């Protein structure tokens, strides 16, 4: 009976771990999930997935690289700044897709706590799709 119970616990733990890792990669299946992951990271101080959100090609802008994708290795002061910008951010528009013969892009309007004040808080995040995954491009 103990062996059965131990095997059951091991199966549950293995399933939970698999589900957790799966969600890490699923965030790149849509632009909306990527932006929601940025907000979630700011709300929870869990920056572990953010490095995945910038394209390996380096095609994204400096703001997305420095202030989002590299935030896990930034100073505590910079991480607190990231939190202040995005922890109360929210999506204000629908995903807009644009396709060309060479690439697929998308954009989403959102509101965040811009340090320059309310008049600069409405922003658009831009995304690019590469190898069936979405990445941050600019904002």
130 class by beta-carbon count within 10 Å (0-12 exposed, 13-18 middle, 19+ buried): middle
pLDDT confidence of residue 114: 85
d(C-alpha 71, C-alpha 48), whole Å: 9
- Model confidence at 39, pLDDT cuts 50, 70, 90, reads very high
Task: Give the C-alpha distances (Å, rounded to integers) separating 133 from 7, 41, 74, 136.
Answer: 36, 19, 25, 10
Asked if pLDDT for residue 77 goes beyond 80, the answer is yes
- Print the domain residue range for 102: 2-138
d(C-alpha 104, C-alpha 34), whole Å: 15
**What digits encode the pLDDT tens for the residues 80-114?**
999 999 999 999 999 999 999 889 999 999 999 98
Asked if pLDDT for residue 119 goes beyond 90, the answer is no
The encoded tokens of residue 37 equal: 């992951």
Q: Give the CATH number of the domain where residue 119 resides.
A: 3.10.450
The domain tally of the chain equals 1
């Amino acid at each position: 009976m103990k062996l059965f119970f131990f095997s059951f616990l091991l199966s549950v733990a293995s399933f939970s771990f698999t589900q957790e890792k799966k969600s890490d990669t699923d965030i790149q299946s849509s632009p909306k999930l990527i932006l929601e992951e940025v907000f979630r990271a700011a709300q929870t101080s869990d920056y572990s997935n953010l490095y995945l959100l910038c394209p390996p090609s380096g095609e994204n802008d400096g703001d997305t690289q420095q202030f989002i994708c590299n935030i896990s290795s930034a100073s505590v002061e910079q991480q607190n700044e990231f939190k202040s910008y995005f922890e109360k951010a929210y999506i204000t528009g629908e995903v807009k897709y644009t396709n060309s013969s060479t690439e697929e892009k998308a954009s989403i309007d959102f509101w965040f706590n811009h340090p320059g004040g309310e008049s600069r808080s409405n922003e658009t995040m831009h995304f690019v799709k590469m190898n069936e995954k979405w990445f941050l491009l600019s904002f």
